[in-house]
Chain A
Amino acid sequence: MKCNHACGSQEHGLARRSFLGTMLGAGASAGLGTLVRPAAAEELQRQQKRVLVCYLAGGVSQLETWDPKPRTDTGGPFRAIPTSVPGVHISELLPHTAQQMHRLMLVRGVNTNENDHGKGSYIMQTGRRREPSTDYPYMGSLAARLLAPEGAALPGYIHITPGGGGSISAGEAAFLGPRYAPVVLGNGNPPQNTALPDAVSVTSDAARQSLRRQQDERFLRRRRTALTEAYTSTYDQAAALMAQREVFDVSKESEQDHERYGTHDFGRHCLLARRLLENGVTFVKVSHSNYDTHNENFNFHIEQLGEFDRTFATLINDLADRGLLESTLVLVLSEFGRTPRINHLYGRDHWGTAWSIAMSGCGLQLGGTVGATNDNGTEVVDRQVDGGHLFHTYLRALGFDPTDQLTVDGRPVQIADPAAEAIEEVLA
């Protein structure tokens, strides 16, 4: 299922991989499927709900994070520690996060039954299994479509990655169209091509834009179409984004905050995430890499979680202190967990059968756990859920009815998987 573009083509290939190049396609995709109840969407946009996802790429170990099993054959070398919630223990690798447990909800009964990186990632971010005939939008694209204010200068879905250049991941938006695709900030750098070239002064750029507008208006007087309007508005959106380029400049944050978040990349990226959320970006995903620890699982989890723990705890605390946590859904996700069995390399392998995620904010019930695994973590024994249940829960927390439908190609498509339902215990 592809996006129907205003130009009438089935697929509007991205002319360039740059952000500005993509804006044309984005503008042209605005006329596709809409919410059945647009008034509800407008109300949600007014509430300014936001989403923050910390995506621990490669598959973080549930045993070294949210569901430790010390003193068992699968527990490994780490101990469990108490948290700010009496009776709830997590891995000793998360001492700072443990002090934020009253602001977290752990879902310990996740069974996605999927051990493939790509398929697991798809399930956790679309709430559905991949189907040959249909691509469903990622949570970030859906949030950008449903929550981001119309005409916002900033992208609705921003993905901060550990490295690489900036780009647009058009596929994540699926039938919503590339307008709702994530703008990828490689290593937290601002979107590409949003700064004036050195050779162009502000004055000369203003003159240049004025000339362009005159020509556009002259052209539009004779040939006004949806496509030409989209073309024109794309320039206006790009100009608005360029005017807000400072929003992406994390160096504007205080030295003290840089120190609190950590001087490593993940710390800087999470500080940028806070800055983006405060400036109205609807959905921010921060990826932290890499947890695919087939070898030396324990050494690498010390290293990776050593970065994650203090930074994440600081971010949660800041969101709460600034009054943002009530309106921001926070998720800590991976594509799957890791095997309870420790392999011959001191590693843990892929495991989608019994693992955990963490949630916070947005009016959820916090300070507890839902679901449970058995004594050594090999199976779910209470309140088993999959990606569909989680997706329903996210949407409900954001104020949507997951059974609402989008109209795509003239046919209704339920927002979340019809075969699943929300985890009611987590919802307030």
Chain B
Amino acid sequence: MNTAPDSAVAAADPTQAHVAAEWEHDAPLINCRFDPTGRFVFATSEDRSILRFDVESGQKFVLETQETWVRPLVFDPTGETLVSGGYDGRLVWWSAAAETPGPLRSVDAHDGWIRAAAVHPSGAQIATAGNDRIVRLWNMADGALVGELAGHEKHVYSLLWHPEGQFLLSGDLAGVIRQWDVASRQEVRTLDASALHTYNGGQGVDYGGVRSMALSHDGGQLACSGLTAATNPLGAVNEPMLLVFDWQTGELKTTHETKDKLKGIAWRVVYHPSGFLIAISGGSGGGFVIFWRAGEAQEFFVHKLPNTAREMDLHPDGLRIVTAHHDGRLRISRLDGKPNEEEATS
């Protein structure tokens, strides 16, 4: 949903990207998301907690600790309700905007990890998926199971609703993207993102996968993030990569890589309202926010972060990016008004 005012969109300049704020937690972070209003940023941590930070003040609130790690964080369109997905297969509804957020409901949703969740544009349903390879649909209002979509042969890593609400996309470890017509529960087509997957016979491991998906604001292009050049999966020798498909034809249009062969995984990709792509890369090479223009294979700017990064989200204003880091910090990077050295040190 593009809620960014045009003036702010125009002001966004990735080459001005700089870390404007840091908020600390005492355990490595896993995920981070702004709520749809942009008032809060939520994060998850290896200490099994869910955190809420007030974006303006940085004030932290720790939600009830979970049984295990939490990966996906999604919201209803108002931002009043947060739904978290755990590595214990449990979905939990939370009163996200309350002064003291608490759990509202929980559902044993999957056998094994929940790796991905996505809320229907109307807010009526939530889709979830993970290691049991089943995509499930839930009623947002009461948590009732309303449907299942089966067909993936590998763990499902990512989900994305088309903004018109008819189609759901699910991407898996093997690089298979399935497009589902949700009303009929039928698979419409598959897209081949297998360039994001490798099987290393020497190590005996599958690696890679469709780590995230994003649709351009004009609806014309689908971007998928992940990794390539995985010569040593167990040693994290790999590079971030995006694949961009033409939405109408399903044809692969652009493969985005980095000029300097940065080492890492593109954990997430989002489209900025201005049209450029933003990806977060973390791994053995460190943490980077990478910016590509549509149709250009190589990036036009890299924003280096002080620590390896694991997730990222774009604020509704289009000017702020939050990143989650192994050093336990959330970092807010601004895409405008980079202070000059005098201002920064004064």
**Chain B residue nearest to A346 in the complex (CB):** B310
Residue from B47, B113, B204, B233 in contact with A295 in the complex, judged by beta carbons closer than 8 Å: B233
- Chain A residue, CB-CB nearest to B154: A303
Give CA–CA (A315, B112) in the complex, Å.
Answer: 25
Contacts of B84 in A (CB 8 A): none
Which partner residue on chain A sits nearest B286 by CB separation?
Answer: A344
Chain A residues whose CB sits within 8 angstroms of the CB of B46 once the complex forms = 73, 342
Docked CA distance A345–B131 (Å): 20
CA distance in complex: A73, B201 (Å):
33
Residues of A within 8 Å of B206, CB to CB, are 303
Q: B204 and A304: CB pair below 8 A?
A: yes
How far does the Cβ of B287 sit from chain A's closest Cβ, in whole Å?
9
Contacting A at CB under 8 A, from B200-221, are: 201-207
Shortest CB-to-CB span from B112 to chain A, Å, is 8
CB pair B326 A78 closer than 8 Å: no
Q: How far is the CA of A292 from the CA of B284 in the complex (A)?
A: 16
A21 within 8 A of B: no
In Å, the complex CA distance between A73 and B46 comes to 7
Residue of B nearest to A266 (CB): B204
Among B87, B155, B282, B308, which residue has its beta carbon within 8 angstroms of that of A78? B87
A285 to B88, CA, bound (A): 35
Instruction: Determine if B235 is an interface residue (Cβ-Cβ < 8 Å).
Output: yes
Question: Does B201 lie within 8 Å of A163, measured CB to CB?
Answer: yes
The secondary-structure label for the interface of chain B is: loop
Given contacts A58-B234, A290-B203, A344-B308, contact A77 B113 (CB under 8 A): yes
Whether, in the assembled complex, A300 has its beta carbon less than 8 Å from a beta carbon of chain B, the answer is yes
- Whether A73 lies near B236 (C-beta < 8 A) is no
Contact B47 A73 (CB under 8 A): yes
Say yes or no for A339: interface residue by CB 8 A criterion.
no
Size of the A side of the interface (Cβ < 8 Å), in residues, is 27
B326 touches A344 (CB 8 A): yes
Contact with A77, one of B87, B236, B307 (Cβ below 8 angstroms): B87
- Nearest CB in chain B to that of A264: its residue: B204
Contacts A77-B68, A79-B67, A294-B235 given; indicate if A345 touches B284 (C-beta within 8 A): yes
Alpha-carbon distance A303/B236, docked complex (angstroms): 16
Whether A71 is near chain B, meaning CB under 8 Å from some CB there, is yes
Q: Are A304 and B27 in contact (CB under 8 A)?
A: no
Encoded as 1 (CB less than 8 Å from any B CB) or 0, chain A from 285 to 301 comes to 00011101111100010
The answer to whether the Cβ of A70 comes within 8 Å of any Cβ in the partner chain is yes
B window 59-111: CB within 8 A of A: 67-69, 87-88
Interface residues of B in 26-54 (CB under 8 A from A): 27-28, 46-48
Residues of A bordering B, CB below 8 Å: 58, 70-71, 73, 76-79, 162-163, 265, 288-290, 292-296, 300, 302-304, 342, 344-345, 347
Binding site for A on B (CB under 8 A): 27-28, 46-48, 67-69, 87-88, 112-113, 131, 155, 201-207, 233-236, 282-284, 307-308, 326
Further pairs besides A77-B87, A290-B205: 7, Cβ < 8 Å: A70-B68, A73-B27, A77-B68, A265-B204, A295-B284, A304-B205, A344-B307
